[in-house]
Each structure stands twice: as C-alpha cells, then as structure tokens.
Structure 1
Amino acid sequence: MIINNLFIRLKERNNENIQKTRDVLLSMKGKIETLRDLKVEVDISQGDYDLMLITKYDSIDDLNTYLNHPVHVEVSKYIVSVLDKQVSFRYESLD
C-alpha cells in the first residue's frame, strides 16, 4: 500500500479557512476509484502546518491516476489558491 501524507499551511490561518479547506479535501472521498482511503486532520498545536491530508493507494500507478483525475485537479486549484506552503511525505507500507 502506498501512503501519501500532505502537510498544508494556509495563507490565512483561521478556523473558517481551515474548515473550508478540510471540507474541500474531503469532497474527493468516494469520487476517485484508485483512492482507497482519505482522511484530513487538523493540527491542534498551531504548529507550522494547519492540515494533514492522508491518502492511500494500492500502487504508485494508482497514486499517479489520482493525481491526474479531474476531481483531484479541481480540488488542487482551490488548494493552490489558499496555500502558503506544503510538504509531502510518500511511503510504501508493508503492513
């Protein structure tokens, strides 16, 4: 299983923007066939990032299909408009 964690810091870091961004990310759930699981967590420590998107795929090819899927492309446009910075950490889980 391939797991992708995306840490997101918003330009305007307030509760309203965090919740809207969370909702936009969650809107992909069930709409992209190669996306096995999707979770969005909000940082409660007010650290460097506001949200973490956790997505799971059966393979790298499935991840690439997700990245190019029209639903993901539309969500990405919104994320780019509110994004200050991001960090991605991808790995293969053997569990």
Structure 2
Amino acid sequence: MFTHIVLFKVKEPTKENLQFLKETLLSMNGNINELKELEVGVDVIKSDRSYDIGIITRFDSKEDYLAYDVNEYHVEKVKKVIGPYLEGSKTLDF
C-alpha cells in the first residue's frame, strides 16, 4: 500500500470555498482507477499551525500513485480547478 497525503492552505478559506474544494477533491472517487481510497477533511481547529483542507489517498503501489499524478482527470478536473484557490500545499508520501 502506498499513501499520499496533501495539506492545502487556501487563499480565502470561506465556508463556500472549502466546500467547493472538498467536493472537487472527492470527485476523484470512481474516476481514477489507480485511486483505491480517498479521504478529504476540512480543518476545525483553526490554529496558527493548521492547514485548511487535506486529503489522504491510497494506492496499491508507488507506480499506481505516479500514474494517478498524471491522470487526465486528476490534472484537468482537479489540479487545474483548485489551483487558483490555493496559497500553498505540503505533501507526505510513504
């Protein structure tokens, strides 16, 4: 199992923007064969250390993750759509 975690900092973390981002990220479910598990969460603590939204994705292998990363749906319907909303992100892969 290969796990990919991303934490996102949103430029304007309004309730509406966070809901839109959550729905966009969740839309990957069922649209990318390599993606085996997807969890999306919105931060509720709002501390100085907090990021606004995060995803946990799981794949059968690192190679499946690499295929997901360049998958047309992931690139065109998710990355390009959420990009303008983001201030930054951090990842962890294991």
- Paired with 2:46 and 2:27, the residues of 1 have a C-alpha distance of 24
Deviations for 1:41-84, whole angstroms, at most 9, x for unmatched residues? 11101133111111000111100100011110021001211110
The residue number in structure 1 matching 2:70 is: 68
The residue number in structure 1 matching 2:84 is: 81
The residue number in structure 1 matching 2:42 is: 42
Q: TM-score, normalised by structure 2?
A: 0.93
Identity of aligned residues (%): 35
Deviation of 1:37 after TM superposition, in Å, equals 0.5
- Paired with 2:14 and 2:64, the residues of 1 have a C-alpha distance of 33
**3-state DSSP of counterpart to 1:56:** strand
The residue number in structure 2 matching 1:11 is: 11
Q: TM-score, normalised by structure 1?
A: 0.92
**3-state DSSP of counterpart to 2:66:** helix
Structure 2 gap ranges (5+): none
Structure 1 gap ranges (5+): none
- Paired with 1:90 and 1:27, the residues of 2 have a C-alpha distance of 21
Q: Which runs of 4+ in 1 moved over 4 A?
A: none
